[in-house]
Amino acid sequence: MPKLTIDDKPVQVPDGTTILAAAQKLGIKIPTLCFNPHLLPYGGCRICTVEVSMPWTEGPGRLVPSCSHPVDEGMSVKTQSPATISARRFIAELLLAAAPESEHMREVAASLGISPDNLAEDDLIGQYLFERAAKPEKTKCIKCSMCVRVCAEHVGMQAICFTQRGTRRSVRTPFEKVSKTCIGCGACAYICPTRAIHIESAD
How far is 201 from 203, CA to CA, in rounded Å? 5
pLDDT in tens, 135-173: 545 678 888 899 999 999 999 999 999 888 776 788 888
How far is 93 from 98, CA to CA, in rounded Å? 9
H helix intervals, the chain? 19-25, 82-98, 103-111, 124-134, 146-150, 187-191
Per-residue pLDDT at 122: 47
The DSSP H or E segment spanning 131 is helix 124-134
Per-residue pLDDT at 130: 53
Per-residue pLDDT at 102: 83
Report the candidate in 20, 51, 4 with the shortest Cα–Cα distance to residue 12. 4
pTM listed for this prediction: 0.83
pLDDT in tens, 176-195: 888 888 898 999 999 998 88
What's the rounded mean pLDDT across residues 54-67? 90
How far is 152 from 188, CA to CA, in rounded Å? 10
- 3-6 and 76-78: which strand pairing? parallel
The larger pLDDT score, comparing residue 123 to residue 148, is at 148
pLDDT in tens, 77-100: 999 999 999 999 999 888 887 787
Is residue 132 very low, low, confident or very high in pLDDT (cuts 50, 70, 90)? low
Residues comprising the chain, all counted: 203
Answer yes or no: are the C-beta atoms of 102 and 142 closer than 8 Å: yes
How far is 47 from 92, CA to CA, in rounded Å? 7
